[in-house]
A = this chain, B = another copy of it.
Amino acid sequence: MLNLTGVYHIASGAESIAARARALAVEQSVEMPLEAITSAAVRDDIVGTVEDIRDLGGGTFEVRIALAAATTGNEPGQIMNMLFGNASILGDVTLVDAVFPAEMVSALPGPNIGIAGLKQRVQATTRRALTCSALKPQGLSPGELASLAAAMAEGGLDFIKDDHGLADQRYSPFAERVAAIALAIRATGAGTAYVPSLTGTLDDIRRGTALARDNGLAAIMVAPMISGVATLAAIARENPDMAVMAHPALAGVARIAPALLIGKLFRLFGADAVVFPNHGGRFGYSREECGRLAANARLAVQGKRDAMPVPAGGMTLDRVDEILDFYGPDTMLLIGGNLLSAGDRLTSEARRLQERVAAHRYA
């Protein structure tokens, strides 16, 4: 049954697009000459077919290809593989969207606590956006990072996450760092939630999650394109009370539209909050792509919680109003470097961010 749709953009001439589309349908399903397939079941139920071809102009065509969800066994890695494994090596093909059958959606974990759960965690009203900052630079000792975290927490931020560069490093071992930071934040009396970044194998990430739990934490961050999406799903499933934040590191490698990869797939695989580079910062995502990503993260999906969009990447305090007007209150603002630049005034700048977000009147 061809019940999984991949939507691709192909750079092609009009005269060759039909053949290119058929070739892509074969590439992403059986990957061999059709005339050599003798099994009728494979021909009917497994070989991908071209559902639609639409000329987008400028030498780009949108092609919808129907694939068999049965080939994925509803396993996250295999879903990536069947949607884009080989096609990722074709220089002129982009995966822009996918439509999943209900059975696949139901078999995937989705977010554990979703947007409402994240807001509850930090006792925010549903009518305001959340705030977040990042602990960096890497290279600091656990004590130095803990001091930064305390200063931010005193400013009242909702979430503080590790920089995705923090790992298990000699100068700042994971266990020591997480304990020091968790303790420093707790000592402030603030309701700030700390989100440590977990790296390594599934075993390492499991150990890190357990250690976070031992330190009274209830949220963790992983980078699914580095850890593997199956690791994200396993950790989300095994820790139903934990909020999982997904970081986009290495996500730019494959030509997969961020709105699909980060907005839909990371969410389906278990992310409660998805970090992505906001438009107008250092990175290449357009305003429209960011809007689509946030919309996908919050889309109503039967039986699945929504995921919190977390725009980040070179954001500044003076953009807060503009960003909130664009994303609305179901958003977590992540401002790292700009806040850290405040130096001695870190707490007061964190408080200023927190108050501006709380006071914002949405258009």
Contacts and interface: CB of A to CB of B under 8 A. Distances in A.
Contacts of A252: 87-91, 253-255
A142 to B, nearest CB: 13
Interface string A74-97: 010110111011111111100000
Given A81-B199, A249-B81, A70 B169 contact: yes
A80 B39 contact: no
Interface string A158-199: 000001110111110000000000000000000000000001
Contacts of A85: 164-165, 223, 226, 249-250
A253 B71 contact: no
A36 B337 contact: yes
A46 interface: yes
A119 interface: no
B33 A250 contact: no
A201 to B, nearest CB: 4
Contact of A201 (B47, B163, B234, B255): B234
Interface stretch (A23-31, A107-115, A319-327): A23-31
A203 interface: yes
Nearest to A338: B33
A46 B226 CA distance: 22
Interface stretch (A208-216, A277-285, A293-301, A354-362): A277-285
A89 B283 CA distance: 6
Interface stretch (A55-63, A122-130, A131-139): A131-139
Contacts of A255: 252-254
A14 interface: no
Contact of A250 (B88, B90, B92, B167): B88
Interface in A32-75: 32-33, 35-39, 41-42, 45-47, 68, 70-73, 75
A203 B202 CA distance: 8
A249 B202 contact: no
A240 interface: no
A142 B264 CA distance: 33
Given A86-B249, A284-B89, A30 B165 contact: yes
Given A45-B139, A256-B253, A35 B341 contact: yes
Nearest to A230: B201
A38 to B, nearest CB: 7
Nearest to A38: B343
A231 interface: yes
A248 B199 contact: no
A340 B32 contact: yes
B88 A251 contact: yes
Contacts of A167: 71-73, 75, 78, 81
A254 B27 CA distance: 19
A101 interface: no
25 contacts: A31-B137, A32-B337, A32-B341, A36-B340, A42-B139, A42-B140, A47-B137, A72-B169, A75-B204, A77-B223, A81-B167, A81-B226, A85-B164, A86-B164, A86-B249, A86-B283, A89-B283, A91-B254, A199-B230, A202-B202, A204-B230, A227-B228, A228-B230, A252-B254, A252-B255
Given A81-B167, A89-B284, 15 more contacts: A27-B282, A31-B165, A36-B340, A37-B137, A71-B165, A71-B169, A75-B200, A78-B200, A81-B226, A85-B164, A87-B252, A88-B251, A88-B252, A202-B231, A254-B255
